[in-house]
Structure 1
């Protein structure tokens, strides 16, 4: 009994329950928001534009999400940096405690929109409040920071992907239920009432857990001069005895911004795309589609577990980018549900790049700067969203009549561009490895060293 109690207590004080509660609350909230926006779009009209009924609905939905997501991207920028500094210097819990304080009112406001038939625009104010409390970027950066500090550098990428796996599994379960939960209501209440009440309850429990139960354990990290800067692979490794490799950090940031924009931009428009003909999904179908998206977190984790035994982290990132680029390009031509699920199946490793990039970045800085570094990465992606969210939205609206999937082709192109910085890092790592070999031999026989490297490369191939 004592061992059982200790095990349960250890689980309850870990970061995992926090992820479960937050993801369930977010899943029910966003599924409800999507359907509420679709319901309100039925009466949308644009007198000054020669648009069909369906095009008017698509314009209403895409315009709403453009403004809403811009608010969610911009509002957290300064609070995220402030909370990250507080987390690094004073209170490590700050980045995971403050965001739910803004998430709870956001869910309650949407509930009032449903019950009282308030204008949908009040969600812009709710989104602003959520953003000023740090938003999801602060929350997830806090989770990643707490997780990173609780494990060794060698195991960090696997542990971070384990958190992504948990996030995905909870998302699958939540999305499978969300569509049915959204339809549970009486005739006197609006659709989505039950789902939003449950969402608010989950977020409230998340807040209580973060404040009262969460316990943060920081293990002693390896000395900075003994850490690998980029990879656990013995054939491609770099040491950073003199400090941070700024060139590699810039390249990692560039790859993350390009890939994050490509992925987020495509997924943002995907929610609008599936609500038009020929798909025209209802609440239940939307929940199943979101569940398929969450499955990608699970398959990405399995990919990390399998691939990291034979390839380094740089190759892992490239595998994930190829997976996303191919799947999202196929999404451009989707006209039936089975094609949608086939396209998403090609995205099975799409989640690998971002946590792996975070892992590489966290290995290049001391623990005291880990939080601000990971938050800066999130902020960089959000600053770039000021351009890509309006661009993706307007391109989607302009191409709606002749090629509505064009934005997905554009996203695939950005993914290819994101692979360039990662490839440069791979070349730099190989060159540094070669230089280390030469130094180990005292520089006396460079030709012999080069011949050895060529033989080794041939054997690997």
Structure 2
């Protein structure tokens, strides 16, 4: 039975609260922006109204994503160093920064705390559990947001209730981080100082050398080994390419759903967002099962293939049921990024988790900002030609992301050969 002290190390309440806040705010923002541009284009001919609205909303999100993505870059790395060198709880308190768009610092801190509190062999599962909590909160928030927007729009200024709920959730995260959250004790040391294994992250157990003399044991189990720079670079490259594919597609997807032939209402938008969050459950189940039989690299590649196939189907969506089929094919799309983070944590010291994770997150944010602008401009250019073209582009980037991971998998196999993988 878990004690109160152990429960206070859980970062999940912060994850759930921040994602509920985000889900409420995102739905409200999309519908308010759409309605605003509807009103400003009332004098336009009916056949050009939808195109004008799509381009106006797209331009708004280009600027919005630039501000949202770039504003936390100044403080993110500094906060991560403070978290590594002074106190991990600074990462939890960064939930306040999330209110102003600082997801970079928040999520890097969440991953650092999650890694510190997990053993090496269970780390991929631990991080996907955090993602599961994030997804379930987003699912509930998305389901409720459409009804809240419609139900209170006649009594309050549209979007006011959703923004109020969002602020309340962020306030809870801040208070929990300051007064409840405790930093977990490190569950395992860095495998870079232990005997390397197949996925570059599992450790030989201390008992492995029990039958050997002490000097032999030390030479085998405690000999320092430098982490592979190629592996780290390839993991970063795979994460960036995959994130480019996902962020690009998800940026234009809401616009795609608002236009013909789908023309979704706020409630349907809420259902569609909720369907997207189901992949957090299926991806968790995937890691839970796959981790018993496959290497981390294999799980990552399964997730990348799942997303790439699903987004290719999305390019040809003309009916609502086909949208949900595409979403169903993406059932393992969440696996790659948390598993890549897990692999990275196995190549660095625990005291450097914050810096490594925030560098990865900064790379993803910068890529995401550039991708958002790039995809929105392409979407505007192809709107009247083929509005699903951006999804085909994401399919190609998703396939490219498999290449760096293939290099990592090949390197592992050539290094270990038939070596039996031992875990802690």
User: What is the TM-score with the length of structure 1 in the denominator?
Assistant: 0.82
- What is residue 395 of structure 2 aligned with on the other side? 412
Question: CA contact under 8 A between 2:58 and 2:376: conserved in structure 1?
Answer: yes
Match of 2:14 among 15, 18, 21: 18
Shift of 1:186: 6.0
- What is residue 204 of structure 1 aligned with on the other side? 171
- Alignment of 1:339 with 2:335, yes or no, is no
- What is residue 81 of structure 1 aligned with on the other side? 77
- Alignment of 1:354 with 2:350, yes or no, is no
Question: CA contact under 8 A between 2:241 and 2:398: conserved in structure 1?
Answer: yes
Gaps of 5+ in 2: 203-220
- What is residue 34 of structure 2 aligned with on the other side? 38
- What is residue 60 of structure 1 aligned with on the other side? 56
- What is residue 138 of structure 2 aligned with on the other side? 171
In the superposition, relative to structure 1, how do residues 367 and 339 fare at CA in structure 2: closer, same or farther (>3 Å)?
same
Shift of 1:349: 0.3
Gaps of 5+ in 1: 104-129, 441-461
Report matched runs for 1:172-187 at 5 Å: 172-185=139-152, 187=154
Question: CA contact under 8 A between 2:244 and 2:368: conserved in structure 1?
Answer: yes
Shift of 1:97: 1.1
Cα deviation code 1:8-59 (max 9, x no counterpart): 67535521211121111111111111111111121345999x9811110000
Cα deviation code 1:391-441 (max 9, x no counterpart): 11111001000100000000010011110000011111111113x87xx9x
Shift of 1:242: 2.4
Cα deviation code 1:200-226 (max 9, x no counterpart): 111111110011111111224235322
Shift of 1:233: 9.9
Shift of 1:359: 0.4
Report matched runs for 1:219-230 at 5 Å: 219-222=186-189, 224-226=192-194, 228=196
Shift of 1:227: 5.6
Match of 1:97 among 65, 75, 93: 93
In the superposition, relative to structure 1, how do residues 46 and 364 fare at CA in structure 2: closer, same or farther (>3 Å)?
farther
In the superposition, relative to structure 1, how do residues 56 and 259 fare at CA in structure 2: closer, same or farther (>3 Å)?
same
- Alignment of 1:192 with 2:159, yes or no, is yes
Distance in structure 2 (CA, Å) of the matches to 1:37 and 1:391 = 20
Question: CA contact under 8 A between 2:153 and 2:159: conserved in structure 1?
Answer: no
Question: CA contact under 8 A between 2:195 and 2:225: conserved in structure 1?
Answer: no
Question: CA contact under 8 A between 2:257 and 2:263: conserved in structure 1?
Answer: yes
Cα deviation code 1:246-281 (max 9, x no counterpart): 111111111111001110111111111111111111
- Alignment of 1:429 with 2:412, yes or no, is yes
Question: CA contact under 8 A between 2:14 and 2:95: conserved in structure 1?
Answer: no
Match of 2:115 among 148, 163, 187: 148
Distance in structure 2 (CA, Å) of the matches to 1:47 and 1:185 = 28
* 3-state SS, counterpart of residue 18 of structure 2: helix
Misfit runs of 4+, over 4 Å: 6-10, 44-48, 227-230
* 3-state SS, counterpart of residue 94 of structure 2: helix
- Alignment of 1:231 with 2:214, yes or no, is no
Distance in structure 1 (CA, Å) of the matches to 2:153 and 2:330 = 38
In the superposition, relative to structure 1, how do residues 431 and 38 fare at CA in structure 2: closer, same or farther (>3 Å)?
same
* 3-state SS, counterpart of residue 333 of structure 1: coil
Report matched runs for 1:251-262 at 5 Å: 251-262=234-245
Distance in structure 1 (CA, Å) of the matches to 2:311 and 2:4 = 41
Distance in structure 1 (CA, Å) of the matches to 2:324 and 2:382 = 23
In the superposition, relative to structure 1, how do residues 141 and 101 fare at CA in structure 2: closer, same or farther (>3 Å)?
closer
Distance in structure 2 (CA, Å) of the matches to 1:227 and 1:29 = 47
Distance in structure 2 (CA, Å) of the matches to 1:249 and 1:102 = 28
Question: CA contact under 8 A between 1:168 and 1:297: conserved in structure 2?
Answer: yes
Distance in structure 1 (CA, Å) of the matches to 2:197 and 2:240 = 20
Q: How large is the Cα RMSD of the aligned pairs? A: 2.5
Question: CA contact under 8 A between 2:112 and 2:354: conserved in structure 1?
Answer: yes
Question: CA contact under 8 A between 1:296 and 1:347: conserved in structure 2?
Answer: yes
Shift of 1:315: 0.4
Question: CA contact under 8 A between 2:243 and 2:368: conserved in structure 1?
Answer: no
* 3-state SS, counterpart of residue 184 of structure 1: helix
In the superposition, relative to structure 1, how do residues 186 and 370 fare at CA in structure 2: closer, same or farther (>3 Å)?
closer
- What is residue 370 of structure 2 aligned with on the other side? 387
